[in-house]
Amino acid sequence: MAIEDDRVVLENAPGNAKYTSPGIQKQLLNILGNKVRNMIREEIGDAKFFILVDEAVDVASKEQMSIILRFVDCYGMVRERFFKIVSVPNTTSQTLKIEISKVLSTFNLQVKNIRGQGYDGASNMSGIWNGLQALFLEECPYAYYGLSELNKRFTDQSSELLILSSTLDPCVHFSQFKTEKVCTLAKKFYPEDFVHDELFSLELECAYYERDMLKDPKFQNLTSVSGLCQQLVQIIKSEFFPMIYRLICLVLTLHVSTTTPERAFSSMNIIKNKIRNRIEDEFLDDCMVLHIENEFAEVIDNDSVIKEFEALRPRTVSFS
């Protein structure tokens, strides 16, 4: 491999500075992986996000926990981003709390404690997303996270939340929209997101919102809450109805399928297979985030990677 401008490359590099060793490759891959994760953090911004946690056993019989972030972006689009895979000794509630807190700390939030004593009883989750496989992080106002094994524990609350959420569905000319249901949804399931004055504003917005939606032809053929969210942002009505828009975004962060975790574990089994079954955890994590979130990986500037690589420690050859 050679370059016409005679820059330092493999063929004309000093024999002791070709930078092709496994250790060097892992450093470069980690830089790329961290850049992708930073892009995901920037995409989330200050939005509320739901953390979906799922686990599987890899080819080396190690428990791996994948972390998926679901949120509504600044364009009103629902996004699910693979953020990290973590090897865990077990999947007990305490272990998951610790590992998830470590991940959340990368968002520069103060993570000290999780409200309640654990995942094992309904009493620990009273008033905070009951029944939706979710816990509220007391010190992290932007983070929710869920565990699929809670599905069977809170059937009644889950059903109530789904029924109340359906009032936001724009199908059949907003026929299901009811102010009382909207306010109950916010007050009962999102008490930390709507203080008293905001609940009052939400109720006032509802009357204007219903009339506006019925009159505006742009909203007549919508068939989903996600489509409604995008349309509100597109024509800037999200700014006219900020409380309703906030509630719509919160509802849309709810996890509704296991498709993304399943894709993540499929990728894991491709990267870490029977032939490459001794891949280190960090290397696997970086490979997966680059593979799954390749749209971010493709736009990374090579010069910025080289600069970070050079700054890690003194190098035999200067890159600048």
Compute the CA torsion angle 220, 226, 229, 230 (nearest 10 deg): -90
Q: Is 87 helix (H, G, I), strand (E, B) or coil?
A: strand
pLDDT at 49: 86
pLDDT at 14: 59
pLDDT at 119: 30
Distance CA 107, CA 1 (A): 40
What are the φ and ψ backbone dihedral angles of 80, each rounded to 5 degrees?
Answer: -125, 115
Structure letter (DSSP) for residue 320: -
b/e map of 229-262 (b: 16 or more CB within 10 Å)?
Answer: bbbbbeeebbeebebbbbbbbbbbbbbeeeebbe
Sign of CA dihedral 241, 243, 245, 247: negative
What are the φ and ψ backbone dihedral angles of 143, each rounded to 5 degrees?
Answer: -130, 130
Distance CA 130, CA 256 (A): 16
Distance CA 312, CA 295 (A): 26
Distance CA 200, CA 181 (A): 14
CB 229 within 8 A of CB 245: yes
Reading phi first (left if > 0) and then psi (alpha if -120 to 50, else beta), residue 318 is in beta
pTM value is: 0.79
Exposure of 74 by Cβ count < 10 A (0-12 exposed, 13-18 middle, 19+ buried)?
exposed
pLDDT at 156: 67
pLDDT at 206: 96
Can you give the pLDDT of all 320 residues of the chain as single tens digits?
344 454 545 566 556 666 778 888 999 999 999 999 999 999 998 888 888 888 899 999 999 998 999 999 999 999 999 999 999 888 777 777 777 777 777 765 633 333 332 333 232 323 333 333 333 333 333 444 444 444 454 456 777 888 899 999 999 889 999 999 999 999 999 998 998 899 999 999 999 999 999 999 999 889 999 999 999 999 999 999 999 999 999 999 987 677 888 899 999 999 999 999 999 999 999 999 999 999 999 999 999 998 999 888 887 777 66
Q: What is the largest CA-CA distance in the chain?
A: 74
CB 247 within 8 A of CB 209: no
Non-local CB neighbours of 25 within 8 Å, separated by 6+ positions: none
Distance CA 35, CA 38 (A): 5
Nearest to 69 by CA among 227, 261, 297, 224: 261
pLDDT at 320: 64
Q: Is 303 helix (H, G, I), strand (E, B) or coil?
A: helix
CB 119 within 8 A of CB 135: yes
